[in-house]
Structures are given as C-alpha cells and as structure tokens.
C-alpha cells in the first residue's frame, strides 16, 4: 500500500482470506493530527477518514486478491455507495474494518465494508476500486 503517516489508517491486518474478506484495525489515538480541529474539546474521528480507512483495507484486499500490479499501476478508489454513519469514533477506540469482496465487472471491483467499535457498527458502505496506470 502506498500510503504513509499521517494518512496510513490501517494499523494491522487481523484476518484475511484471498478473494473473500479482510479484517483490519485502526487504533484511534488522541495524538491524531486532525483532532486539533475536529472538534476542539470534543474530538471525533472524521467520518470521511472512517471511509478512507475502510477504503485502504479494501485496497489491501484487492491487491492480495485480484492480482499483482504491473509497473506504474495502482488500485484507485473508484466510488462509494450507501455510506451510513451510525455512531461517533473517539480517541481510545479500536476501530475494526471488515471488507468483503462482492464482484468484479469491467475492471471495477465492488466490496462491502463495515467499521466497528466494541462490536457495534459505526459505519457501513459499498466501495469500488479500479486498477489503473498512474497519471
């Protein structure tokens, strides 16, 4: 995965089955840089970054399942549908992302994703990624 700090939002892969699913974790620290402004006195992990963490987990599953990349290729986040936020994520939470392969059509792979804290759903979405050459 090409992401690095401070934008690497997957700390560890917990479980994985090629072509089926991946489970990963993000330990949410009070030291995350965005908490200074989101929100002062009441830090909440931004919803778009929950989606990004799920998208990064999706990218790992895609890379491990769909095939090796050619030089100059990347997996790009191609779309998101039905994103729903159920509850906030705060410092000290351990967010578990579970992504499941659904299908590939015309070079776009669809995945179902869910993020959980303490076994409770905080976010769910359908995500798509596509394999493409770097611009």
By DSSP bridging, strand 94-105 and strand 108-117 are antiparallel
Q: What is the pTM of this model?
A: 0.89
Given 11, 13, 38, 114, which residue is catalytic?
38
pLDDT tens sequence across 15-70: 999 999 999 999 999 999 999 898 989 999 999 999 999 999 998 998 888 667 78
pLDDT tens sequence across 67-96: 677 888 877 889 999 999 999 999 999 999
Strand order in the sheet with 21-27: 12-17, 21-27, 94-105, 108-117, 120-133, 73-85
- Cα 84 to Cα 32, 38, 80, 88, 121: the distances in Å are 23, 19, 11, 12, 10
Domains and CATH numbers, the chain: 12-133 (3.10.129.10)
Contacts of 42 by beta carbon, 8 Å cutoff, 6+ apart: none
Q: Is 3 a catalytic residue?
A: no
């Amino acid at each position: 995965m090409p992401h690095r700090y401070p934008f690497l939002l997957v700390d560890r892969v917990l479980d994985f089955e090629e072509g089926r699913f991946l489970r990963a974790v993000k330990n949410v620290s009070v030291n995350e840089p965005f908490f200074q402004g989101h929100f002062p006195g009441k830090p909440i992990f931004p919803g778009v970054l929950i989606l990004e963490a799920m998208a990064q987990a999706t990218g790992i599953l895609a890379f491990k399942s769909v095939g090796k990349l050619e030089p100059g290729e990347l997996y790009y986040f191609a779309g998101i549908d039905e994103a729903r936020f159920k509850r906030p994520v705060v410092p000290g939470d351990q967010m578990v992302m579970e992504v499941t392969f659904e299908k590939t059509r015309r070079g776009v792979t669809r995945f179902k994703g869910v993020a959980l804290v303490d076994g409770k759903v905080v976010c769910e979405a359908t995500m798509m990624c596509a394999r493409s050459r770097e611009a």
